[in-house]
Chains A and B, each alone.
Chain A
Amino acid sequence: MKVGIVRFPGSNCDDDAWHAVVDHLGQDAVMLWHKAHDLEGADVIILPGGFSYGDYLRAGAIARFSPIMREVMAHAKRGGIVIGICNGFQIACEAHLLPGALLPNDAGYRSMPVTVRVERTDTPFTSAASAGQLLTMPIAHGEGRFTASADELDRLEGDGQVVFRYVDSTGNPTPASNPNGASRNIAGVCNGGRNVVGLMPHPERAMEPLLGSTDGLVLFESLLATVNA
């Protein structure tokens, strides 16, 4: 598997994604400069976290016009795998690779561990997880309140596009376990083709016991299983 990690101006989880793929998964990775026009043969594209263009205007709004994004969108259209993490999720929504929008949190920036429930295992980022599995991973964002119209939310639920939901330690999506006010506790979604997945928590920060959680591993292992299948 070869993973392309896009480096936008202001990306700051690009190195973390790199370590997750290269050090912890033992796979190939390549950094893709935002001005580039070539994905260098990557099977999987990661849009990493950070503050692309300072998140000025709206998170992800400016980055989605980067030259590399044209290639990423074409890759997605071909059915190629794209994973958006945090700022990458915001960019993917702005680029209409994913439905909905990520608005400022209802109560400000939040940095803390959260628990999410895996709602779907039929995506390339969750295929190795089990349905209903609880994963604890850090979040660190100010604009992660997933929002869409009520009709759109119903459609997403109906089509099985809600991939992760914020839950409490017993697996229930309660208001208290929702760190940003996201509609229906949604922490991550996929597109209709199920090849693009976005989520607010940071699985790349939950890859080793030394740092407190290994729950992100299963998501990266899913990529490997999907690509090698």
Chain B
Amino acid sequence: MTATPRPGDPAITPALVAEHGLTDEEYRRMVAMLGRDPTFTELGVVSALWSEHCSYKHSLPLLRALPTKAPWVLQGPGENAGVIAVGDGLAVAFKIESHNHPSAVEPYQGAATGVGGILRDVFTMGARPVAMLNSLRFGSLDSARVRYLVAGIVKGIGDYGNCVGIPTVAGDVMFDPSYEGNPLVNAMCVGLLREEELTRAKAEGVGNPIMAVGARTGRDGIHGASFASEDLSHESDAKRPRVQVGDPFTEKLLLEATLELIASGAVVAIQDMGAAGLASSSAEMAARGDVGVVIDTTKVPVREPGMTPYEILLSESQERMLVVAHRGRDDTVREILAKWDLQAAVIGEVIAEPVYRVTEGDHVVAEFPGTKLVTDCPVYTPEARESAAVAALRGQDAHTVPEVAEESDPAWTLEHLLSSPTIAGKHWIYRQYDSTVRTNTVRGPGAGDAAVLRIRGSRRGIAAKTDCNSRYVYLDPRNGGQIAVAEAARNVACVGARPRAITNCLNFGNPKKPEVYWQFREAVAGMGEACAALDTPVTGGNVSFYNENPSGAVFPTPTVGMIGILDDVERSVGMAFAAADHSIVLIGEPTDELGASEYLARIHGLTAGAPPRCDLAKERATIEALLDAIGAGRVQSAHDCSEGGLAVALAECCIANRHAMHGARVDLSRWAGLPQRALLFGEAQARVIVSTTHPGDVVAAARRHGVSAFHIGTTAPAGEGLFIAGIAKPLAAPLARLADAYHESLARAMAPAATQEQGISS
């Protein structure tokens, strides 16, 4: 059979091809693959599947070099989500995904549907979602537009997860002018399953019915995948009708129905209809199983009359799944869906003939040989070159930056850093997220360096955190890529969990720009090196290119979503000092490094200098030492040094738990030789502040792993404040002031937000 145009199809002209985002070369490739001119439907399908978003055409070769294997990895990249074994026959499925472009245009729905999509990726694996995380990047809060985006995006994330009933337990947020106009919204979902429930999205079995399940298909979001593959510009405004609306209620029903479906044994494979909808989900499922499929678009339940095959194939209507059922079990599928007031319709079949065929009734409207639609996609390795301007910024010596007058009092600098939106407590955000539903949250947002969830019926626990200091990546992508992984691992280790695997979300600018592709190549390489060194393979992820706005690319942001496992969840520790008169031990050592710091950005408005060095062997040893000490029950709290350095980390330990603050007396005279700014606010890596009743044991644990550790002070009653001696001018700060700066700044900065109207009526 061969596909022929339908009556009313537009003629395939060079202009139409260009409008579909295909280059001349790609069009020729498509014609060669087909051996004839494409139909309009075929053009649409190829345009979507060969979009950056679906095809990874600019990233695949580099991603292939990432480490993906370990004995505990049950499912690496290539499926809807990665899966690792936890022990006791249990496994964790997890994945992160971006929804940057939709959120820039329509913050509330864009963020909400991002959460919906990543949830489906996890529950299609047979896992029950147990936690959500979110990693957000915004421009400066001085801008009303940015405040509008923050308000809408946070509300969108919250409303969706809250309604479905999945706790949002952790995340990270950073503000920098480079994200002006192009916020980053990365959502991560973590699910729990029994190993034998693991389900894949691989079509198999000739004669098995293919079913559309869940919501009906409407005209929303057509070409969303290619939209995500373009620069944001004013033209994007014109594309607004592409916005999809989330329906978390239907998602909740779909979640329950899907898990029941998997338990019933009636299904062979399931995949979310995400980007490029039915076209990509059906083509990818067929390619994974190396089978042929036929789909009849007239059988797809639609929301509006008169939809064409083109529209039905490419619609990105939310809350839909594609299911391959066992032959003769389609009634079971329908019954389970009906119980949840959802529908399921047989729309096609797995066939022996090696083709991907779409019909409209009897009329073949698209037909591709074998699995070429997926496997024949072009792959590019663009030119890579470092930007000379960025190299020059990196070369600047941070120590030559003159101090401002107020800095003569280090308490002023500390307060100023604590109130920086990037450092300040994120309570304004996560108070909008239900973090305790499902009653597994041992440590929610703000309580520890990573979230901790218990697993019912097991002693074990799951830790999770997202991280990426993109300023480091901007100034030195290789080093920054390493640090993103190392910091996430450290955060997970701080709560007592062994880092096990990551998912990543690579947010970059236009890869066709040599300096962007260079950033990408280096950052991915750095990530890979860190994953190998820390034994945390990559089990999946997402690439989001074209994060640009009229003034240039965003900071390169390879966000890491780290999963760690605790053998005994009762042993987890928080970040806040737990009592007065505990010893404070610093694992790791200060250095003279000051480059790329939040200090330079916040106090001096500078993005410059070399980021701190990342020594992966030392990172690993630090993690091992920490896990030893926590595992032995010798640690009362642990918090790593990140943005703002040692002084900020100490302050956070004092004030993080606002209802039970503790003071601290610290002596840093051992490092009197270091420049004071670097000692207090430099961001040297591989450092953790621990409070302990057994300082000798903690120091010994560090020594065993070849890491330095120092007893630097003692915790105190809150009234004593934070006191740091052993520096030129001692730092003395009452906790009330520090706490106000840390806990209230974000709310204050958001106060003039225009009320985000949408959703109010619900």
| A10-B252 in contact given A51-B162, A210-B454, A211-B442 (Cβ < 8 Å) | yes
Task: Give the nearest-CB partner of A140 in chain B.
Answer: B434
Question: Which residue of the partner chain, among B159, B164, B247, B760, contacts A12 with CB atoms under 8 Å?
Answer: B164
Interface flag for A54 (CB, 8 Å): yes
A54 touching B163, Cβ below 8 Å? yes
Task: Give the nearest-CB partner of B759 in chain A.
Answer: A142
How distant is A89 from chain B, measured CB to nearest CB, in Å?
A: 16
Interface flag for A100 (CB, 8 Å): no
How distant is B104 from chain A, measured CB to nearest CB, in Å?
A: 23
Question: Which residue of the partner chain, among A50, A51, A205, contacts B436 with CB atoms under 8 Å?
Answer: A205
Question: Which residue of the partner chain, among A9, A54, A109, contacts B432 with CB atoms under 8 Å?
Answer: A109
How distant is A26 from chain B, measured CB to nearest CB, in Å?
A: 16
Chain A contacts of B252 at CB under 8 A? 9-10, 12, 51, 54
How far, in angstroms, from A16 to B437 measured CA to CA in the complex?
Answer: 8
Task: Give the nearest-CB partner of B164 in chain A.
Answer: A12
Task: Give the nearest-CB partner of B659 in chain A.
Answer: A169
Interface residues of B in 236-273 (CB under 8 A from A): 247-250, 252-253
Give a binary string over B340-362; 1 marks a CB under 8 Å from any A CB, 0 the rest: 11000000000000000000000
Interface flag for A2 (CB, 8 Å): no
Chain B contacts of A110 at CB under 8 A? 431-432
Give a binary string over B147-181; 1 marks a CB under 8 Å from any A CB, 0 the rest: 00000000100110011110000000000000000
How far, in angstroms, from A10 to B433 measured CA to CA in the complex?
Answer: 17
B162 touching A140, Cβ below 8 Å? yes
B158 touching A109, Cβ below 8 Å? yes
Chain A contacts of B442 at CB under 8 A? 210-211
Question: Which residue of the partner chain, among A49, A55, A204, A211, contacts B441 with CB atoms under 8 Å?
Answer: A211
Give a binary string over A179-202; 1 marks a CB under 8 Å from any B CB, 0 the rest: 000000000000000000000001
Give a binary string over B430-460; 1 marks a CB under 8 Å from any A CB, 0 the rest: 1111111111111000000000001010000
Chain B contacts of A109 at CB under 8 A? 155, 158-159, 162, 431-432
How far, in angstroms, from A16 to B569 measured CA to CA in the complex?
Answer: 19
How far, in angstroms, from A171 to B165 measured CA to CA in the complex?
Answer: 31
How distant is B569 from chain A, measured CB to nearest CB, in Å?
A: 7
Interface flag for B376 (CB, 8 Å): no
Chain A contacts of B430 at CB under 8 A? 111
Chain A contacts of B331 at CB under 8 A? none
Question: Which residue of the partner chain, among A15, A53, A111, A112, contacts B438 with CB atoms under 8 Å?
Answer: A15
A50 touching B165, Cβ below 8 Å? yes
How distant is B740 from chain A, measured CB to nearest CB, in Å?
A: 15
How distant is B599 from chain A, measured CB to nearest CB, in Å?
A: 31
Give a binary string over B216-254; 1 marks a CB under 8 Å from any A CB, 0 the rest: 000000000000000000000000000000011110110
Question: Which residue of the partner chain, among B341, B437, B456, contacts A140 with CB atoms under 8 Å?
Answer: B437
Chain A contacts of B570 at CB under 8 A? 210
A210 touching B163, Cβ below 8 Å? no
Question: Which residue of the partner chain, among A53, A56, A111, A210, contacts B434 with CB atoms under 8 Å?
Answer: A111
How far, in angstroms, from A56 to B250 measured CA to CA in the complex?
Answer: 11
Task: Give the nearest-CB partner of A207 in chain B.
Answer: B439
Interface residues of A in 26-57 (CB under 8 A from B): 49-51, 53-56
Chain A contacts of B13 at CB under 8 A? none
Interface flag for B375 (CB, 8 Å): no
Chain A contacts of B551 at CB under 8 A? none
How far, in angstroms, from A204 to B440 measured CA to CA in the complex?
Answer: 12
B436 touching A202, Cβ below 8 Å? yes
Q: Size class of B's contact patch?
A: 35 or more
Interface flag for B400 (CB, 8 Å): no
Question: Which residue of the partner chain, among A15, A49, A51, A111, contacts B248 with CB atoms under 8 Å?
Answer: A51
Chain A contacts of B569 at CB under 8 A? 210
Question: Which residue of the partner chain, among A49, A56, A108, A205, contacts B762 with CB atoms under 8 Å?
Answer: A56
How distant is B424 from chain A, measured CB to nearest CB, in Å?
A: 17
How far, in angstroms, from A202 to B762 measured CA to CA in the complex?
Answer: 22
Chain B contacts of A217 at CB under 8 A? none
B163 touching A10, Cβ below 8 Å? yes
Chain A contacts of B456 at CB under 8 A? 19
Task: Give the nearest-CB partner of A110 in chain B.
Answer: B431
A54 touching B165, Cβ below 8 Å? no
How far, in angstroms, from A169 to B430 measured CA to CA in the complex?
Answer: 22
A111 touching B439, Cβ below 8 Å? no
Task: Give the nearest-CB partner of A137 in chain B.
Answer: B436
A112 touching B249, Cβ below 8 Å? no
How far, in angstroms, from A50 to B161 measured CA to CA in the complex?
Answer: 11
A13 touching B437, Cβ below 8 Å? yes
Most A CB contacts (10 A, CB to CB) among B162, B435, B659 go to B162
Question: Which residue of the partner chain, among B247, B440, B659, contacts A54 with CB atoms under 8 Å?
Answer: B247
How distant is A180 from chain B, measured CB to nearest CB, in Å?
A: 12
How far, in angstroms, from A40 to B659 measured CA to CA in the complex?
Answer: 45
A19 touching B439, Cβ below 8 Å? yes
Chain A contacts of B341 at CB under 8 A? 9
How far, in angstroms, from A213 to B159 measured CA to CA in the complex?
Answer: 25
How far, in angstroms, from A50 to B158 measured CA to CA in the complex?
Answer: 14
Interface flag for A99 (CB, 8 Å): no
How far, in angstroms, from A116 to B158 measured CA to CA in the complex?
Answer: 25
Interface residues of A in 83-113 (CB under 8 A from B): 104, 108-112
How far, in angstroms, from A90 to B250 measured CA to CA in the complex?
Answer: 20
Task: Give the nearest-CB partner of B256 in chain A.
Answer: A9
Interface flag for A144 (CB, 8 Å): no
How distant is A202 from chain B, measured CB to nearest CB, in Å?
A: 7
How far, in angstroms, from A109 to B570 measured CA to CA in the complex?
Answer: 30
How distant is B358 from chain A, measured CB to nearest CB, in Å?
A: 33
| A9-B164 in contact given A207-B439, A210-B442, A210-B454 (Cβ < 8 Å) | no
Interface residues of B in 690-738 (CB under 8 A from A): none
Chain A contacts of B164 at CB under 8 A? 12
B253 touching A9, Cβ below 8 Å? yes
| A54-B437 in contact given A9-B253, A10-B163, A13-B165 (Cβ < 8 Å) | no
How far, in angstroms, from A53 to B247 measured CA to CA in the complex?
Answer: 11
How distant is A85 from chain B, measured CB to nearest CB, in Å?
A: 12
How far, in angstroms, from A14 to B546 measured CA to CA in the complex?
Answer: 43
| A9-B439 in contact given A55-B163, A111-B432, A111-B434 (Cβ < 8 Å) | no
Chain A contacts of B159 at CB under 8 A? 109, 142
Interface flag for A60 (CB, 8 Å): no
| A16-B439 in contact given A9-B341, A10-B249, A54-B249 (Cβ < 8 Å) | yes
B158 touching A211, Cβ below 8 Å? no
B248 touching A54, Cβ below 8 Å? yes
How far, in angstroms, from A217 to B165 measured CA to CA in the complex?
Answer: 22
Interface residues of B in 398-441 (CB under 8 A from A): 430-441
How distant is A140 from chain B, measured CB to nearest CB, in Å?
A: 4
How far, in angstroms, from A142 to B248 measured CA to CA in the complex?
Answer: 15
How far, in angstroms, from A110 to B248 measured CA to CA in the complex?
Answer: 18
Interface residues of B in 328-385 (CB under 8 A from A): 340-341
A-B contact pairs, 14 of them (CB 8 A): A9-B249, A9-B340, A49-B437, A51-B162, A51-B163, A53-B249, A54-B247, A54-B250, A111-B436, A140-B435, A140-B436, A169-B659, A202-B436, A210-B569
Q: Which residues of A contact B (CB under 8 A)?
A: 9-10, 12-13, 15-16, 19, 49-51, 53-56, 104, 108-112, 138, 140, 142, 169, 202, 204-205, 207, 210-211
Given contacts A12-B252, A109-B162, A211-B454, 6 further A-B contacts (CB under 8 A): A9-B340, A16-B437, A51-B162, A109-B155, A111-B434, A140-B437
Instruction: Rank and list the top 5 A-B pairs by shortest CB-CB distance, nearest first.
Output: A12-B165, A54-B249, A140-B434, A51-B163, A138-B436
